[in-house]
Chains A and B, each alone.
Chain A
Amino acid sequence: MDDIVREFLVESNENLDLLDRNLVALEKDPEARDILASIFRTIHTIKGTCGFLGFNKLESVTHVGESLLSKMRDGELLLNAEITSGLLVMVDAVREMLASIEATGQEGDRDYHAVIETLTRLQNSEPQSPPAPAEPVTPAPPLPHPESTSEAPPEEERRLGEILVGQGKTSPAQVTAALDKQLQGDPRRVGEILVENGSAKSPDILEAIQEQKEVRMLAATDTSIRVDVGLLDKLMNLVGELVLARNQILQFSTTQQDALFLSTSQRLNLITTELQEGVMKTRMQPIGNIWARFPRLVRDLAMSRGKQVRIEMEGKETELDKTLVEAIKDPLTHLVRNAVDHGIETPEERLACGKPAEGRLFLRAFHEGGQVNIEISDDGAGVNLERVKQKALERGLITPDHATRMSEREILNLIFLPGFSTAQRVTNVSGRGVGMDVVKTNIEKIGGVVDIQGQSGKGTTLRIKIPLTLAIIPALTVTSGGDRYAIPQVSLLELVRLEGEQARKGIEMIHGAPVHRLRGRLLPLVYLNRALGIEVESSSDGAEKLAADVANIVVLQADDRQFGLVVDEINDTEEIVVKPLGKQLKGITTFAGATIMGDGRVALILDVLGLAQRANVVSEVRDRAVVEKAAQTEIRHDDGESLLLLRGPDDGRMAMPLSLVARLEEFDRGSVEKAEGRHVVQYRGQILPLIHLSSALPERRQQSRSAESAEPGGENEKIQVVVYADQGRSVGFVVDRILDIAHEVGKIQKHTGRQGTLGSMVVQGRVTELLDVKGIIQAADASFFDDRVAA
């Protein structure tokens, strides 16, 4: 293929993406002349070039498009939904032909007469809406303009006068008058004349000039060049090898005394790091590249579903590695479709719920902690938890027993299970029962996680976290059975080392399955050498000795579950270059790739999820976790109530009904912030107000030693919080200590009516005061319950 054709293709494809965006934008704001001008230019360019290259079919399609656009530009037609659709169909046709040219060099055999006819018809149709008012906001006739004629072709940018009028800073008549003056020989610039006439203020003029400049800047594309992706990949590989060589030299340099050599290798180290960052940057792409397609997608989809959806984006410029951009394209598209198709309701339904007819789809991306966060939220119907539960039961994904005990979050996350779809109707867009599980798998494949949050009736938010790059990652190296393995740092939670007595007692067995009590919870253990089937080669008594003396446990996170990986030795953390495994080894899910260590030897990179699956951690524990939870929250269904027992501010025992408790949480004291004069913590993306039980029960305070000592304290000290949730609003009670959960049929003995309590009763053989939860909340925040009613 000719270079010139290839260049035409690349350029046109970029232009088409821009066109999609512009058309959708123009539909919202049909009078935005600059957008219209940009669309016109794009089509004009494509038409011109393809005429020159002899693509006649392409030329004829773009030609009618151009004619239609020129009518619009001249104000004879105003853009409406029909014209937009027509133009979008044309864009698709052009795209199709370009694809065909790219593949075969020909325009293809498709017949585009229908498109041409539609566009011609639209061109001749009467303007649906009345033409612009008598005094047009946009000064149409290009007036002679000595100021800029010498600088750029007139179509390329907006005039100062136009900008000012567009911003409503002056009137067209004033501008015309100023221009007339210029024509009569006034040597001053338009802006100066306007200011002198008093028809515009000088700050406004400056602002307009600034805007004009920005447009000019954008037009200057000389500062960037196109580079072949293959070349960048090659560069990346070379840098990867340089990093390895650097690592080897650094390792070697530790044994050397030569000062010059040491300083040189230090310099090499720095330069390599910078080079690595630089090359990585060249492969970075803004996420906006994928998002650019969404306005069009959302528009088309919303129209076909009879919905109104507004798409908003924040953080378009957030960058991530090219390979990752590719990898999240499909999952993101799927989620956006889902949001429009299932999430956002029809205008009628929305109005009936008291929401604006137009739904809002919000995309947000930002960098945080070396990861890219992407959020997709809509203000639609949300996920119907009951329906999800129902569906999961029907499909046999959970048992009725589980269903009654699952937390909201767990239910929500059911939609990621394979074979799940809540769509009542299968549409041609989504709801075929494949989808969310594929989204999840694809995101996990690139080391990411996806989480869903939502509220029935209020909307849904999907959060995706993915690493910045896959090529070079921080990893922990460990040794097992004489070989080294690298564990990606993202999966790493903590390291536990048990020695001597601890090592002998710290690992217990549940019917052959080793576990370790980590802060009171049982952590399933996986011996790396056994999981990899290499214990046979290491002598068995050696392994036993190891188990007796010392145990190194690497606590890992795999798919919401934690497990401990027992290894012989924990070595170091370092940046490793991920290299793929050969085709012969692709089938092994336990390894994510390989890398070359500082000494030049190869080490395998563990795929934590694959390993967990192999060791049955993931599936097995999931069941157990459900059971555990069940045991925790089990309520005997006879008379009486389950109570959460606390130690009160004056060291007495207090209780609150368990039915009012949403969760028990532990926060670092350092994470407590102050807002509106109250203590709050950030909790699951929301602000959770805190009520200190000690201050809610003021009359006890003076007697309380523990409460006072609980007030200050180190940043890392934990505070115990009982989260109480009522219809979407939460509040956290800071308590000294959570004692137990008890089931009591006892009777409350009403007495005294002390503030904050309902009375006392005997629980577990001890006198316990029952807290008046609602009363305390009301005392602390009188509006808590009112707001709820209003909302």
Chain B
Amino acid sequence: MAGKKQFSTFVVDRLLFGVGVEKVQEVIRYQEMTRVPLAPVVVKGLINLRGQIVTAVDLRRRLGLHERAATDLPMNVVIRHEDGAVSLLVDEIGDVLEVEEGTFESPPGTLSGEARELIRGAYKLQDKLLIALDTDRMLNLVTTAARGT
């Protein structure tokens, strides 16, 4: 399996994203959330994951995409993180895809803003692009990056 990598994929604002399958602890449907006042805006709330309290980060906000319609309920992609689990709120869950390392390309210079930090690059699938996210940065930067917004 040299040169191949498995990605857990999901859709956010019609874009296909992926994180390494080994980073994903589990995928669960919408959970009721408790909002956290005064928290960075990307933190949508806290969910109860079988007795564990997990911070839910809204990927749309994190990536600077359009707000989700209030009626659409997000799904949770729970990521294993050094400091316990963190949930990424996404629109739809995709399949686990196996991609060739050879199809990877770094993000173009025209990709700007904060998203540039978070996107490692894209895998060229047949009909679309799979955008690979850097989960560590995404979760580590939450505090500093999102304060101002």
Contact = CB atoms under 8 A, between A and B. Distances in A.
A595 B51 CA distance: 9
A582 interface: yes
A534 B37 contact: yes
Given A584-B139, A586-B143, A602 B48 contact: yes
Contact of A533 (B37, B48, B52, B140): B37
B48 A601 contact: yes
**B contact residues, range:** 20 to 34
Contacts of A533: 37-38
Interface in B42-61: 43, 45-48, 50-55, 57
Contacts of A603: 34
Interface SS of chain A: mixed
Given A483-B34, A604-B34, A583 B47 contact: no
A240 B53 CA distance: 12
Interface in A521-549: 532-534
B143 A604 contact: no
Contacts of A185: none
Contact of B51 (A240, A581, A584): A240
Given A594-B46, A602-B46, A585 B36 contact: yes
A533 B45 CA distance: 15
B48 A600 contact: yes
A596 B40 contact: no
Given A533-B38, A584-B57, A587-B143, A596 B43 contact: no
B38 to A, nearest CB: 5
A591 interface: yes
Contact of A584 (B35, B50, B143): B143
A603 B45 CA distance: 10
A596 B143 contact: no
Contacts of B113: none
A241 interface: yes
B16 interface: no
B38 A584 contact: no
Contacts of B45: 602
A596 B36 contact: no
Contacts of B54: 582
B36 A601 contact: no
A596 B55 contact: no
Given A582-B86, A583-B143, A603-B34, A596 B39 contact: no
Contact of A582 (B38, B48, B51, B83): B83
Contacts of A587: 143
Nearest to A590: B38
16 contacts: A241-B50, A532-B37, A534-B35, A581-B46, A582-B84, A582-B86, A584-B40, A584-B57, A584-B86, A584-B142, A584-B143, A585-B55, A594-B53, A596-B53, A601-B48, A604-B46
Given A582-B86, A586-B143, 12 more contacts: A240-B51, A579-B52, A584-B43, A584-B55, A585-B55, A588-B39, A601-B34, A602-B46, A602-B47, A602-B48, A604-B34, A604-B46
Interface of B: 32-40, 43, 45-48, 50-55, 57, 83-84, 86, 139-140, 142-143
- Per CB-CB distance, the 8 closest pairs between chain A and chain B, nearest first, are A532-B37, A241-B51, A582-B55, A602-B34, A583-B83, A602-B46, A584-B142, A579-B53
